[in-house]
Amino acid sequence: MTKEDIKEMVSCYMIDTYERFDFVAETAKDMYIYDENGDAYLDFYAGIAVNSAGNCNEAVVAAVRDQVGDIMHTFNYPYTIPQALLAKKICTTIGMDKIFFQNSGTEANEAMIKMARKYGTENYGPDKYEIITAKASFHGRTFGAMSATGQPATACQIGFGSMTPGFVYAEFNNLDSFKDAVTENTIAILVEPIQGEGGVHPATKEFMQGLRALCDEKKLLLLLDEVQTGWCRTGEVMAYMHYDVKPDIVSMAKAMGGGMPIGAICANREVAGAFSMGAHGTTYGGNPVCCAAALAQIEELLDRDLAGNAKKMGEYFMNLLKQLPNVKEVRGMGLLVGVEFDDSISGVDVKHKCYDNKLLLTAIGRHMIRMVPPLILSEKECDEAFHIIQKSIQELK
């Protein structure tokens, strides 16, 4: 089939909600994706912060091939070896007590919301289920996660009718705003350590530690959405480790699976007890092949100290980006990096021009680009990306 055959097939049969790049992704390796002609694109998208140990990481590929020949899927009544090994690896690595596997980040956030609400109603009464989230946050596209997302005026929420009740929005990095939002019906506070879709805004240490203290004072749960920031992206294994706080529940996905669909929540023992027999379930969550891939991915991330590399390369890359023309601010942590331009530069235009020049990245808002490259990034690829972005901006003028 030609590229045009594939495009026509997609146009005819698929419900397309994505702005497509005009190429067929045929193969990928490490820092690059290759199109139908064998042309290489420098990948600063990483499948949206998924392929953190590199595209088609050899250890992850080998784990999938090995597991798929033994047992590809079963329901969650029998025990499986990959699931047990992965559960132990994650809980002992990040210091949490219990884990529940899901298929994706939005499902992990749904499970986190359900667990918090059930814990509240069982321990404090039927009205104790409200959760405070941050304005400009993003938690996913299923109804609970979408309702938790603090973007009521965007396409994420518009047109779907009434949101799920029980969510209140407060100002990110404004501790007083969160304090003012607490009522007798509040059970939890849910935030991202870094707002990704909201403009790459890291939480301040004062804010994050203040939320932990507020939750302790008011007997609330601190819920952290680490779907994008978790597993070495920010320079620590989990982003909350930068802040010397520990959540009651944390969600994760994306980099966790190395390209296979998997998500999870980890909780302390007391809160995890809210999920009694039959309270929650999943068909594919904890799938043996996905768990085998995730175990291999996590071992790669940890054994190669890719958190340390993310910190080092993040500092190097952000210092380069500050030299770009028309830059208003460079923000981020580790290798979750955003560049905000002045009003003369469109982030979407930069994204498309970078694509023309064989660099893949994304745009958020009107004047901003965001980059989440694989954590195996070197100075060579940082320099290459910088020069492509610089060239692309010059071509737009």
Picking from 303, 322, 357, the residue at the C-terminal end of a domain is 303
Q: 367 and 343 in contact (C-beta within 8 Å)?
A: yes
Token digits of residue 353: 């021009």
Q: Are residues 101 and 19 in the same domain?
A: no
Q: Are residues 285 and 325 in the same domain?
A: no
* Pairing of β 336-341 and β 32-34: unpaired
pTM for the full predicted model: 0.96
Which residue shows structure tokens 């660099």?
A: 359
Q: What pLDDT was estimated at residue 389? A: 98
Q: Are residues 163 and 25 in the same domain?
A: no
Q: Are residues 378 and 257 in the same domain?
A: no
Q: 235 and 308 in contact (C-beta within 8 Å)?
A: yes
Q: What pLDDT was estimated at residue 153? A: 87
CA distance linking residue 316 with residue 331, whole number of Å = 13
Number of domains making up the chain: 2
Picking from 303, 334, 355, the residue at the C-terminal end of a domain is 303
Q: 326: helix, coil or strand?
A: coil
Q: Write the CATH number for 80.
A: 3.40.640.10
Q: What pLDDT was estimated at residue 237? A: 98
Q: Are residues 36 and 73 in the same domain?
A: no
- Backbone angles phi and psi of 338, in degrees to 5: -125, 145
Q: Are residues 151 and 34 in the same domain?
A: no
- Backbone angles phi and psi of 55, in degrees to 5: -65, 135
Token digits of residue 274: 């809210």
Q: 176 and 211 in contact (C-beta within 8 Å)?
A: no
CA distance linking residue 228 with residue 248, whole number of Å = 18
Per-block mean pLDDT, blocks of 10 residues, the chain (397 long): 95 93 97 97 97 98 98 96 98 98 98 98 97 97 96 91 96 98 98 95 98 98 98 98 98 98 98 96 97 98 98 98 97 98 96 98 95 98 98 95
- Backbone angles phi and psi of 158, in degrees to 5: -65, 130
CA distance linking residue 256 with residue 301, whole number of Å = 9
Q: What pLDDT was estimated at residue 368? A: 97
Picking from 265, 288, 303, the residue at the C-terminal end of a domain is 303
Q: Are residues 283 and 311 in the same domain?
A: no
Q: Are residues 387 and 329 in the same domain?
A: yes
Helices (H), the chain: 3-13, 46-49, 58-68, 81-94, 105-124, 143-148, 175-181, 205-218, 269-272, 288-303, 306-321, 347-356, 379-396
Q: Are residues 221 and 331 in the same domain?
A: no
Task: With CA atoms as reference, report the closest residue to 255 among 369, 364, 110, 104.
Answer: 104
Q: What pLDDT was estimated at residue 39? A: 98
Q: Are residues 282 and 369 in the same domain?
A: no
Q: What pLDDT was estimated at residue 369? A: 98
Domain that holds residue 47: 3-53+305-396
Q: Are residues 256 and 334 in the same domain?
A: no
Q: Write the CATH number for 342.
A: 3.90.1150.10
Q: Are residues 182 and 289 in the same domain?
A: yes
